[in-house]
Structure 1
Amino acid sequence: MADIALECSCGKVKGVARNISPTTGRRVICYCGDCQNFAKKIGRTDDVLNAHGGTDIFQITPSQVEITQGQDQLRYLKLSEKGIYRWYTNCCQTPAGNMVGPKLPFIGIVHNFMACGDDSEKVLGPVRYSVMEQGAIKPQDTTKSMPSAEKSAGKFPIGLMIKIFARLFIDKIQGKNRPNAFFKSDGTPVSE
């Protein structure tokens, strides 16, 4: 396991993701419209989305994340009233992570925020799932195909949902939703 530096594009926000390995998290590519709209809203489609409109995300627990500098630069965006919290940095619009809320021990750290360099495959492991592929941008060149993953799904696969909910249950019992760098102890976001 390794500790991975977290850093926004301009360097004002820094942190660390602790105990990271292919077994302590799950790497997915999400092609949903919300991930694509989020990248558009913060003006980062060119470096957040892959050629097919997917976002590379590493799913871990909030207790593994510590923001060590620039927490005052964190902002969130909800694309609908019941939508998830999509965290980014105000200074340079770097996407940080996606969360359902403060009570669930789950955060999807966006690849732009993780300082893995060329070692992401080694440190995070291969992409295990490609989800919501019905929202993917199909290649114009028909000789090219979508990026491969261990498992692909047009929507959100039942098997993955079961694994996530089982993990959430265990992590919740173990209190891995705290500490939480994105929410105060009373459950309110660290920013307006």
Structure 2
Amino acid sequence: MPEIKLKCSCGKVKGKTKNVNESSGTRIMCCCDDCQSFAQYLNQESSVLDQYGGTDIFQMPISNIKITEGIEQISSVRLSAKGMYRRYTICCNTPIGNTMGPGVPFIGVIHNFMDNASTRDEELGKNRGHIQTKFARQEVPTELKGSSLKIILRSLSKLIVWKIKGLNKPSVFFDDNGKPIAKPNILN
């Protein structure tokens, strides 16, 4: 399975994935208001969001991410006290991805952190469609919408398999005690 290079826009944070291909994860375009708020928080709306307000995300096991340079440049924000950890670089505000708690083997890697723009469709497959379209900035054409039920079932089944396989560890975003490597800023 291909290894995908990871890199922030200024190059201070670098990493790679392992065991990634179209069947190993789920690629979606998320139009939810939280993803849009995260892009806005980073002042990266024009580079993160598409015309509908969707973020290109590849959901994969968190243990398949390795940061090789610049770990000290990683920070996080939560949009509420119990919200997802939204990881980004402090050097250039590049969004990295969204994670849940330390026991959950999941990260939704945001396209801006993947250094594979020219080969993304080949390596990760085409996205399965726009979801959470009720938050879209404009009407998403029917042919671009994903089946929310199919995507949810696929994501849940992958999460269960990843959990059974113990793919929540190792995690570059949580220490061995389950504490985040960077204390998140919690927004109200």
2:111 is aligned with 1:152? no
Question: Contact conserved, 1:133 with 1:152, CA < 8 A, in 2?
Answer: no
Deviation at 1:79, TM superposition (A): 0.4
User: What is the TM-score when the length of structure 1 is the normalising length?
Assistant: 0.90
Larger CA deviation: 164-173 vs 4-13: 164-173
Question: Could you say which residue in structure 2 is the equivalent of 1:185?
Answer: 176
| CA 17–147 in structure 1, closer or farther in 2 if over 3 Å, else same | farther
Contact 2:26 2:154 survives alignment (8 Å): no
Equivalent-residue separation in structure 2 for 1:160 and 1:44 (angstroms): 26
Mapping of 1:86-97 within 5 angstroms?
A: 86-97=86-97
Could you report, residue by residue, the CA deviation over 1:39-65 in whole angstroms, capped at 9, with x for unpaired residues?
000110010001111000001001110
Count of aligned pairs: 183
Following TM superposition, by how much is the alpha carbon of 1:101 offset from its aligned partner in structure 2, in angstroms? 1.3
For the residues of structure 2 that align with 1:17 and 1:148, how far apart are their CA atoms? 30
Confirm or deny that 1:167 pairs with 2:186.
no
Q: Secondary structure at the match of 2:4?
A: strand
Aligned-residue offset at 1:147:
8.2
Asked whether 1:105 is paired with 2:95, we answer: no
Tell me the TM-score normalised to structure 2 length. 0.92
Shift of residue 146, structure 1, vs aligned partner: 3.5
Rounded Cα–Cα distance in structure 1 between residues aligned with 2:151 and 2:120: 21
Distance 1:160 1:178 in 2: 24
Alpha-carbon offset, residue 152 of structure 1: 2.3
Residues of 2 paired with 1:115 and 1:182: CA distance? 20
Give 1:6 shift: 0.3
Residue 135 of structure 1 corresponds to 135
* 1:74 aligned partner: 74
Asked if 2 retains the 8 angstrom alpha-carbon contact of 1:7 and 1:113, the reply is yes
Percent identity reads 40
* CA contact 1:6–1:16 (8 Å) conserved in 2: yes
Unpaired runs of 5+ residues, structure 2, are: 184-188
Q: Once superposed, what is the RMSD of the aligned Cα atoms?
A: 1.5
Gaps of 5+ in 1: 140-144
